[in-house]
Structures are given as structure tokens and as C-alpha cells.
Amino acid sequence: MVVSPVSAPAVRVEGVVKRFGSTTALAGVDLEVAEGTVFALLGPNGAGKTTLVRVLATLLEPDAGRAEVFGRDVVREAVVVREMLGLTGQFAAVDEILSGRENLLMFGRLFGLSKAETRRRAEELLAQFELADAADRPARTYSGGMRRRLDLASSLLTRPRILFLDEPTTGLDPRSRNEIWTTVRELVREGTTLLLTTQYLEEADELADRIAVIDHGRVIAQGTGNELKDQVGGQILEVQLASAAERDRARAVLAAVGCGEPEPSERPDRLTLPAPRDGLELIEEAAAELRRARIEVSDLGLRRPTLDDVFLQLTGSPPSEDGAGSRSAADEAAIDHVEHSTVGRRSAPIVRLRPPSRRELRSAVTDAGVVTARNLRHFIRQPQLLIFSTIQPIMFVLLFVYVFGGAVKGSLPKGVTYVDFLLPGIFVQSVAFRATQTAIGLAEDLERGVVDRFRSMPMARSAVLLGRTLADLVRNVLIIGLMIGVGYAVGFSFHAGVLQALAAVAVVAAFGFALSWIFAFVALTVRGAEAAQAAGFVVIFPLVFASSVFVPVATMPGWLQSFSRVSPVTLTADAARSYSLTPGIPSSLGETAAWVGGLLAVFIPLCVWRYRRMS
Ligand SMILES: Nc1ncnc2c1ncn2[C@@H]1O[C@H](COP(=O)(O)OP(=O)(O)OP(=O)(O)O)[C@@H](O)[C@H]1O
Ligand SMILES: [Mg+2]
């Protein structure tokens, strides 16, 4: 357990500003959460709730101001902060392909629990969250409520000191919502500090010791539920008039019995007023006075205030659809002031200056292993992916051998058949096209919030990327194996023995590994699986076709030859071909190794940098 400075609050936020381009999501937020309490951030869509949670969970760096969790700075001491927090994001970040149990086992290992401890905790949580019966079903078959519960369980594996819950009950039915509320209360009894966001005043009131109302990226009111409701008027009286003409008279009568100013309403025959007094007495008096004044009423009732009422009272207008964006010049000046007062503050170092400790190294290896195993499981659970991954190269083999084989024959080196020439090229082609899958897989993880969960955990930062590229390496070797099988069926064979054959596979796999890092970078940069795939094909298509994969470079026009000869695809295909057909070391091996080494040296740091700076 991490020891924090004595008396530091669980959360302290001072003047936090966060901008996304021209949108100011947080415009100078200040708040404090005492340890062991529940704090609710209440606000409409776009108010900045998620952004603040992401800052506190170390996923986003504020542009100005500072935020601390148990006295630790979320930017400078992000690693320590991650060890203390649990995060359940706005959208359930569960792995859809894995079962509920597998999700918990994976996250437990990544939280640094031992295998035995992980298993024990997973069973406990499955029972506690009523997921035991569905534990072995893939999470994609879960209902919304089950997903939420699994998501919450995943955040509780290590019993965090503070839990961030971003809209834990939005979209849930009343029963599931009550279950979440019960869990939240239990956690608080056990001493966990909770910061939750919600759009429902009722929820904030039900669960939280203190509530901050947030709008346009700033806190507009703060207090206990009762204090806030007192501002709104405790309860709301709704009066439906038989005639809109009576509105002003009704308003005067109701003011006399203690009601506040009516909320602005689009319907003149309806009055919605804060009712600060005891409900029953008020409604009796209101009804009597209205009758005495001969004002006809078709409906009269009390209800609890909603977020809309709070906003109407606090700001004079209902919450706008998108909180950020519309801001006055005075607001902007205030933000500038906050930013200037914190200029010169730190930023987390982009490149680590000290070498990792042995413990960190061991955890990096374990984490990468866990993520690799998870990605391989995805691959095994989706056999259709493997089938489609091999259909295309098989089609190329058949088309090229039987359609173009005759035409190309004349330009081949002496004594080499087209199928022997083609197959090593097909290996390279397979891994090159498959590299786009690295981008798609990573982009999907980003979209589904799985990466956010990884990033909020005290795990090795490199593990997510390494786990992805290593799993793709294993898959590539598998696909090459399959293509060798297909090759033998159409007359291909290795001519220089097993070791040379293995070397051919190794050189192609190494090239595929380097390509995976390029595509991981594409996914981290362009965002979105489809965009990543499209961007990938734009690069891969010309590279593969303008190379020696299908035909000897000598058959191409001169201007293309000069490009093709130095292309890493050509060099790798030539090296693999030489290993397959002749003994000895291929002449293009040095250049191939230089390409692979160079690509890795450039793209691994680029990926790690992008991953750390992601917003
Ligand atoms: N990564 C991002 N890039 C650009 N704009 C963003 C990003 N994240 C948030 N925003 C913008 O910042 C503002 C605050 O968004 P945020 O998600 O924090 O609101 P929220 O209160 O969580 O809303 P909701 O209730 O809809 O979840 C919005 O205008 C949103 O469009
Ligand atoms: Mg949100």
C-alpha cells in the first residue's frame, strides 16, 4: 500500500484547465474530496465530467492547474497514483471476446496480483456481482447491466483506495441501477473513497456526501444534496392550469403560500415552482388558496427536483446539449489567468532517463506475456479471421501460378520454377497485408476503452504494444506455416534443407514484426479501425506490387526498378527466396536486417511516445 502525506485529501483539484483544440472542456476546476466519502460530479452532456475523471485517472494531462490523489500529483507521480485508483469509465471497458472470468483473470495479473490471488479474487467478485453463472460466456453476450457489473468488478480486483465511476448507471434499468447503488454503498462501508459522475440529481443525492454541479467545464455549485436542494427549493410543485390566462394570478397565489419563482416554461398553462416548505402542508394550502381564488387547476403535484431544476435555478437556463464551446470573453480571461499562474510547471518526462529496475523489467515481461496471451486468444476465438487471412494469399498463389506463371517463366533465373520463385514472395506478401490487422486490433481496443483501462493500471506502458505485436508475430508464423502447406500442394518445395527453410521463415517473420510496429503507430495516430485499415492499404499495396514478390524486378520498367531494388519488401523476398532455394547466406540479408533494425529503431520509440501522449 502506498503511504500518502498525512491529512492529504483523497482528491484535490486546483484550477484545472483542459482544452481539446478550440474546445475548452475544463475551464479551471477546483474541488476537494475527503477520504472515505462519496463525491458526485453532477452535470449535463459535455459538461466536462469525463475529462476531469480522465485527468484524475492519469489518462489526460491538464493544460494548467494541478490535481492530486492522496497528495500525489497525477502527472509527476502518475505511477504511484495508478496503484491507488480503480476506474470504471463511461463505456464498459471489457474485452468482448474473452469470458467474464477471463477478463478478471487478465486484469488481475496486470494489476500485479499473483496467479493464485487473481483466481481467488476473480471467483469472489464473480459471486459478488452475480456473474458466476455467466462467467464462462464471452462478454459480448452479456446484457448492458452485466457488462457494467463486470467492468466494475474489474476495477475492484485490488481493492483500490479510490474508485472513479463515470456515469455508472446511465442506460441501466431500475433494478440494475439499484444493484450498482448497493455495491457502491458496500464499498464505502469498506472505506473506499468514491468519485462518481452522474446526470441524475437523484443518484447524486442518494449516494453522495457532497455534490459538485459542473457546467461548461467549471463548478457552478457545491454542497450536500440537501444544501443543493435547498437552493432549488427542496421539492418542486407542478401546477397544470385549466387556462393559461390565469397564470399570473396563480403565480401570485402560490407565492403567498411560500413557492419560489416559477421556472421558465414553454407552456404558459403550466407552472413549475420550487417548494421549500413541508410538502403535504404546502400542497394542502396551495390547493385551498387556488380554490378560494377560483383558479381552475387540472393537475397539482409535488415531485423531487431534477438536474434540469438545479440548472434552471442556478443558471436561469436548462443545461445545454454541449456544455463546452460557448464561453464569454470574461471566462476566457479567467482561464488565461489560471494558466499564467501555473506556467513553468512540470510535464512528465517523455523519455525515461533512468534504466528500469529489475522489478519493473520483470513486471514488463509478465504484462507483455499476459497481453500477448489475450491477443492470441482473440485470434483462436475468431477462426474466421485465420481463414480469411489465408484465403487471399491462397488466391494469389493460384492466380499467379496458373494465370501469370507462363508469362513470367522466361524471365526467371535458370532452373527455377515459378512456383518456387513465387512462394517465398507470398510469405512476405501475407505478413505485409496482415500487418494492417495490427492496426485494426489496436484501433478496436482504443475505441472500446480497453486501452484506457490498461493505461489507468499500474502496468508496464510498453506491454500493450508489445503484447499486440508479439501476438501478431506468432500469428504470422502460423500463416506462413499454412502457406508452406499450400505451396507444397501446388508443387513448391524448399531446396536447401530444414535450417535454411527455418531461416527463410525467420527473415519474413522479422520483417512482419517491424511492419506491425509501423501499423501500431498508424492506429495510434489516425484513430478508428476503418481509417487505420484504409491508411494501411494505401502504403502496403504499392509496396508489395512494386517489388520482387510476384515477378523478378528485371521485368519492370527502369524507373520502377530503381525503387523496387531498394524496397524492403523486395530485399526480404529475395532473402527468403535465397534461403529456400540455395544453401548459404543470402546476398540481400545485410540490407534486409538493416531495414528491419532501422524500422524497429524508429517505430518502437515513436509508438511508445504516441501511447504516452494519447488523449
Ligand atoms: N478527446 C477529445 N477530443 C476533442 N474534444 C473532446 C475530447 N474529449 C472531450 N471533448 C470535448 O470536451 C467537452 C467535455 O466532454 P466530456 O466528455 O468531459 O463531457 P461529459 O460531461 O463527460 O459529457 P457526457 O455526459 O456526455 O459524458 C465536450 O465538448 C467534448 O466534446
Ligand atoms: Mg462523460
Tens-digit pLDDT profile for residues 329-380: 444 444 444 444 443 344 444 444 567 777 778 888 999 999 999 999 998 8
Q: What is the pLDDT confidence band of residue 413, given thresholds at 50, 70 and 90? A: confident
Neighbours of 414 (CB within 10 A): 4
Q: What spacing in Å lies between the alpha carbon of 14 and ligand 1's midpoint?
A: 20
Q: What is the pLDDT confidence band of residue 236, given thresholds at 50, 70 and 90? A: confident
Q: Are 225 and 205 in contact (CB under 8 A)?
A: yes
Write down the H helix ranges in 273-356.
279-292, 307-315, 329-341
Neighbours of 594 (CB within 10 A): 12
Q: What is the pLDDT confidence band of residue 318, given thresholds at 50, 70 and 90? A: low
Q: What spacing in Å lies between the alpha carbon of 166 and ligand 2's midpoint?
A: 7
Report the alpha-carbon distance of residue 164 to residue 88 in Å, rounded: 6
Q: What is the 3-state secondary structure (H, E, C) of 132-167?
A: CCCCCCEHHHCCHHHHHHHHHHHHCCCCCCEEEEEC
Closest ligand to residue 44's CA:
1
Report the alpha-carbon distance of residue 86 to residue 70 in Å, rounded: 14
Atom of ligand 1 nearest to the CA of 18: 12
Average pLDDT over residues 202-231: 86
**Contact residues of ligand 1, CB 6 A cut-off:** 20, 23, 25, 43, 45-51, 90, 199, 322, 324, 615
Degrees, nearest 5: CA angle 22-28-29:
125
Beta strands 235-241 and 270-275 are antiparallel
pLDDT at 332: 46
Helix (H) or strand (E) holding 29, with range, is: strand 23-33
- pLDDT of residue 234 exceeding 90, the answer is no
Average pLDDT over residues 142-170: 91
Average pLDDT over residues 112-117: 92
Among the ranges given (135-149, 179-193, 307-321, 468-482), the one the predictor scored with the smallest mean pLDDT: 307-321
Report the alpha-carbon distance of residue 107 to residue 121 in Å, rounded: 11
Average pLDDT over residues 133-157: 93
Name the residue with cell 528500469: 356
**Looking at ligand 1, which residue's alpha carbon is closest to its atom 18?**
48
Average pLDDT over residues 556-568: 93
Task: Please report the DSSP string for 34-59 in residue order.
Answer: -TT-EEEEE--TTSSHHHHHHHHTTS
**Looking at ligand 1, which residue's alpha carbon is closest to its atom 22?**
50
Terminal-to-terminal C-alpha distance of the chain: 28
Atom of ligand 1 nearest to the CA of 26: 14
Q: What spacing in Å lies between the alpha carbon of 50 and ligand 1's midpoint?
A: 7
Average pLDDT over residues 181-186: 89
Q: What spacing in Å lies between the alpha carbon of 556 and ligand 1's midpoint?
A: 52
Percent of the chain with pLDDT over 90: 51
**Looking at ligand 1, which residue's alpha carbon is closest to its atom 30?**
46
Neighbours of 600 (CB within 10 A): 17
Average pLDDT over residues 449-462: 87
Atom of ligand 1 nearest to the CA of 51: 18
CA distances from 288 to 257, 262, 281, 296, 509 (A): 10, 19, 11, 11, 86
Atom of ligand 1 nearest to the CA of 322: 29
- pLDDT of residue 181 exceeding 70, the answer is yes
Q: What spacing in Å lies between the alpha carbon of 46 and ligand 1's midpoint?
A: 5
Q: What is the pLDDT confidence band of residue 53, given thresholds at 50, 70 and 90? A: very high
DSSP state of 99: B
Q: Does domain 11-224 have CATH number 3.40.50.300?
A: yes
Name the residue with cell 527453410: 501
What residue ranges do the domains of the chain occupy?
Answer: 11-224, 235-303, 358-612
pLDDT at 354: 62
pLDDT at 347: 45
Q: Which of 13, 22, 26, 50 to mutate to test the pocket of ligand 1 (most atoms within 8 A of CB)?
A: 50
Report the alpha-carbon distance of residue 72 to residue 82 in Å, rounded: 10
Q: Are 429 and 393 in contact (CB under 8 A)?
A: yes
Q: Are 67 and 16 in contact (CB under 8 A)?
A: yes
- pLDDT of residue 118 exceeding 70, the answer is yes
Among the ranges given (287-296, 351-360, 429-438, 514-523), the one the predictor scored with the smallest mean pLDDT: 351-360
pLDDT at 208: 92
Q: Are 406 and 486 in contact (CB under 8 A)?
A: no
Name which residue leads in pLDDT, 49 or 448: 49
Atom of ligand 1 nearest to the CA of 324: 29
Among the ranges given (3-7, 27-31, 601-605), the one the predictor scored with the smallest mean pLDDT: 3-7
- Residue 59's identity, in one-letter code, is L
Q: What is the pLDDT confidence band of residue 310, given thresholds at 50, 70 and 90? A: confident
Among the ranges given (13-27, 45-59, 327-341, 397-411), the one the predictor scored with the smallest mean pLDDT: 327-341
Average pLDDT over residues 374-401: 87
Neighbours of 490 (CB within 10 A): 14
Report phi then psi at 387, rounded to 5: -65, -50
Residue in 275, 264, 271 with CA at minimum distance from that of residue 317: 264
- pLDDT of residue 546 exceeding 90, the answer is yes
pLDDT at 350: 43
Question: What contacts 24+ positions apart, CB below 8 Å, involve 206-210?
Answer: 206/181, 207/38, 207/40, 207/181, 208/38, 208/39, 208/40, 209/34, 209/37, 209/38, 209/39, 210/33, 210/37, 210/38, 210/39, 210/40
Closest ligand to residue 47's CA:
1
Neighbours of 610 (CB within 10 A): 16
Q: What is the pLDDT confidence band of residue 91, given thresholds at 50, 70 and 90? A: confident
Q: Does domain 235-303 have CATH number 3.90.1150.10?
A: no
